[in-house]
Amino acid sequence: MDFIQVLILGVVEGITEFLPISSTGHLILTSRFLGIADSNFLKSFEIAIQLGAILAVVVLYWKRVISDKEIWKKVAVAFLPTAILGFIFYKTMKEVLLSNVQLVIWSLLLGGIVLIIFELWHRSKEQRANGEGLNSISYPKAFIIGTVQSIAMIPGVSRAAATIIGGLAMGVSRKTIVEFSFLLAVPTMAAATIFDLWKSAGVFSLNQFHLLAFGFIVSFFAAMVSIKWLLRFIQNHTFISFGIYRIIIVLLFLLFIL
């Protein structure tokens, strides 16, 4: 892996992390497109680079990070299911799932279809959202959202899509669940990165750490742009276009790559 490839992967990660299109799935397909050989470092890179995007959330929401303990208690409750399942299935995810391109393709495709169907069903219920603001999410709802998020341990499912659909289905407003998804990403991806580096960093070379640092920086700046754009986008749009995009990207990959 060279710095140009890392630059591309960093941009892809930063842009896709908070969109309902699966950043992990995009990283895996992009790595395949760039001809990067599958390796333990690549798998760790695909996990650790997400920390740069997560830092963008901390920077943009720093006031809430510091001041609102109640929100972070709910984020902690939502994080619990993924923390437990991630610890149990870490080896399976890294050694089996992250190498399975076919799984990513099917997850992207089916996830796109589910997103479209859900939005068409949910459109008539959009005005029934029972509260605005992050404090409107109760502890039971936070736990259910976190449980739904754990499905995204399957590459290609999309953590953002899972949490957003889970929240919308329970009547949480669109802006609120998107912001909660941002905050829930912080402990989720920070824990995943720290745990993976603790397991794997001992075999990385100095140059590989340089690649990780560069990817981290690139994904941070790309995520800053992506988050601000998404918050504007959801004011007047549903996520149907993302579902269509997921289907198109799968078809293009099948036609031109495989």
DSSP 172-228: --HHHHHHHHHHHHHHHHHHHHHHHHHHHGGG--HHHHHHHHHHHHHHHHHHHHHHH
What gap in Å lies between CA 127 and CA 120, rounded to an integer? 14
Nearest partner of 106 among 253, 257, 239, judged by Cα? 253
Q: How far apart are CA 38 and CA 127, in angstroms?
A: 46
Which residue type, as a one-letter code, is found at position 57? V
- What tokens were used for 5? 């490839």
Round to whole Å and give the CA distance between 145 and 159: 11
pLDDT of residue 205: 82
- pLDDT mean by block of 10 residues, the chain; 258 residues: 93 94 91 88 86 90 78 93 90 82 93 94 63 84 94 90 93 91 91 84 82 93 95 92 95 82
pLDDT at 117: 94
DSSP string across 137-169: S-HHHHHHHHHHHGGGGSTTS-HHHHHHHHHHH
CA distance 20 to 208: 29
Answer for the pair 33, 245: CB distance below 8 angstroms, yes or no: no
Helix or strand run (H / E) with residue 246 = helix 240-256
What is the per-residue pLDDT across 7-65, written as a single tens digit (0 to 9) for each? 999 999 999 999 999 998 999 899 988 999 888 888 888 888 888 898 999 898 887 76
3-state secondary structure of 114: helix
What pLDDT score does 124 carry? 61
Q: Is the pTM of this model over 0.85?
A: yes
